[in-house]
Amino acid sequence: MEPSPGFVRSATPVHPFGGDILGTSRADGPAAPPTPERPPPRGLRARLRRNPLTRYPYRVLVALTGAAVVAVGIVLLPLPGPGWLIIFAGVGIWATEFRWAAALLRWLRRQLGTWARWTAARSPFTRVLITLLLTLTRLAAVAAGYVALRGVPSWVPASVPLLD
């Protein structure tokens, strides 16, 4: 059987779009020009990443630090204050080292931008109403959590129908 026209027989396996699979030469012409070398990154983080003894402990330290900051943010969510901001900071710490966290942070920023544009397009009355509804929802969640964990407080009259 005769090979098809344009077929190039090579000792090295050839990639379908030209060049061999190893990337050292092209089957249909001269080797690709070498790419200019970039200088190695500088700084403490780059040195920690390059050293095989410190690469994984550094990543574990970043993971634990980010987890601790996210955990503090989750604890502070029901309280008035910067709970979500602290959670975003923890994801930002993770994003310095993990690609999935960087993608999550980009998604969170897009969602926050969408929410900000949506609320900015509403009237001031609607924005105040949304804020009040979100605040009441948070307070109801805190109260439900308190009742679930500690039971009904003794100062609540017996005539109020709450679960014990």
- Return the pLDDT at 12: 53
- pTM of the shown model: 0.54
Residue 49 CA to its chain's centroid (Å): 20
CA 103 centroid distance within chain = 5
Per the domain annotation, does 26 fall within a domain? no
Tally of structural domains, the chain? 1
The residue range of the domain holding 73 is 44-147
Residue with tokens 């966290």: 101
Mean pLDDT score, 16-37: 57
| Residue 120 belongs to some domain of the structure | yes
Q: Please provide the size of the chain in residues.
A: 164
Residue 111 has pLDDT above 80, yes or no: yes
Residue 39 lies in a domain: no
Instruction: Spell out the residues 6+ positions from residue 90 whose beta carbon is closer than 8 angstroms to its own.
Output: 66, 67, 68, 69, 70, 71, 72, 73
Residue 10 region by backbone torsions, left for phi larger than 0, else alpha for psi between -120 and 50, else beta = beta
| pLDDT tier at 65, thresholds 50, 70, 90 | very high
